[in-house]
Amino acid sequence: MPIDFRAALNDEQYDAVTAPAAPLLVLAGAGSGKTRTLTYRVAWLISRGVPPGEILLLTFTNKAANEMLHRVEELTGIGPRRFWGGTFHSLGNRALRLYGDQIGLARGFTILDADESETLLKRCVEDCDKTFFKNKTYPRPGPLFSILSLARNTQQSIATTVRKNFPQHSEIEHRLDDFAASYEKAKREQAVVDYDDLLELWLRLLSESQTVADYFAQRFRYLLVDEYQDTNTLQAQIVDKLAPHHCITAVGDDAQCIYSWRGADFENIMRFPDRHPDTAIHRIETNYRSTPDILAYANAVLQAQPLGRHFDKELRSARAPYQKPHLVETVDDREQAEFVLKRIRALIEDEGVSASEIAILYRSHFLALEMQLALARTGLPYQITSGVKFFERQHIRDLVALLRFIYNPTDTLAWQRIATLLPKVGEKGAQKIHAAARDHAVLLQSDFVAALATDDVLSKVPKDAREEWPHFCASLAEVAAELRDGRAPALAVEHAIEGWYGDYLRGAFADYAERLDELKALATFATRFDTVDDFLSQIVLLNGETADARSATDAEKPAAAIRLTTIHQAKGLEYDVVFLIGLADGQFPSRRAIDAGDIEEERRLFYVAVTRAKNELYLSYPKVASRPGPGGMMNTPSRFLLEVPDTLYERLRIKRRFDWRR
CA distance 333 to 368: 9
Instruction: Specify the pLDDT at position 654.
Output: 81
pLDDT class for 253, splitting at 50, 70, 90? very high
User: Measuring CA to CA, which residue among 114, 79, 109, 78 is closest to residue 94?
Assistant: 109
Question: Per residue in 196-241, pLDDT tens?
Answer: 999 999 999 999 999 999 999 999 999 999 999 999 999 999 999 9
Please state the three-class secondary structure of 523-545 as a single string. Answer: HHHHCCCCCHHHHHHHHHHHHHH
Mean pLDDT of 233-259: 95
> Comparing 541-550, 555-564, 616-625, which segment has the lowest mean pLDDT?
541-550
Annotated binding site: 28-35
Extended beta strands in 586-631, E state: 613-622, 624-626
- Give Cα 304 to chain centroid, integer Å: 25
Show binding-site residues for ATP: 28-35
**Model pTM score:** 0.90
Average pLDDT over residues 561-581: 95
pLDDT band at 627 (very low <50, low <70, confident <90, very high): low
φ, ψ for residue 36, nearest 5 deg: -60, -45
Burial of 116-142, coded b for 16+ CB within 10 Å and e otherwise, reads ebbebbbebbbeeeeebbbebbbbbbb
Angle of helix 489-498 versus helix 394-407 axis, rounded to 10: 120
Q: Is the pLDDT of residue 631 over 50?
A: no
User: 440-465 burial string, b = 16+ CB within 10 Å, else e?
Assistant: bbeeeeeebbbbbbbeebbebbeeeb
Mean pLDDT, range 20-47, rounded to an integer: 93
Q: Helices marked H in 485-571 — which ranges?
A: 489-498, 500-508, 512-526, 532-556, 567-570
| Residues near 57 by beta carbon (within 8 Å), at least 6 away in sequence | 42, 65, 68, 69, 83, 84, 85, 86, 224, 226
β-strand partners of 513: none
Torsion sign across C-alpha atoms 266, 269, 273, 274: positive
Per-residue pLDDT tens digits for 34-74: 989 999 999 999 999 999 999 999 998 888 888 888 898 99
Q: Specify whether the CB–CB gap between 92 and 259 falls below 8 A.
A: no
High-pLDDT (> 70) share of the chain, %: 94
Look at residues 219, 212, 132 and name the one whose alpha carbon lies nearest to residue 172: 132
DSSP H or E run through 174: none
The Cα-based distances of 241 to 65, 160, 200, 234, 264 in angstroms read: 21, 26, 13, 11, 18
Instruction: Give the 3-state secondary structure of residue 28.
Output: strand
Mean pLDDT calculated for residue range 638-649 = 97
For every residue of 312-378, DSSP letters joined together read ----EESS------EEEEESSHHHHHHHHHHHHHHHHHTT---GGGEEEEESSGGGGHHHHHHHHHH
Render pLDDT for 76-114 as a digit per residue (tens, 0 to 9).
Answer: 999 888 888 889 999 999 999 999 999 999 888 999 999
Other beta carbons less than 10 A from residue 308's beta carbon? 6
State the amino acid at position 385 in one-letter form: T
In the structure, how many helices (H) and strands (E) does the chain have? 31, 19
Residue burial 520-534, b: 16+ Cβ < 10 Å; e: rest: bbbbbbbbebeebee
**Rounded to whole angstroms, how far apart are CA atoms 65 and 224?**
11
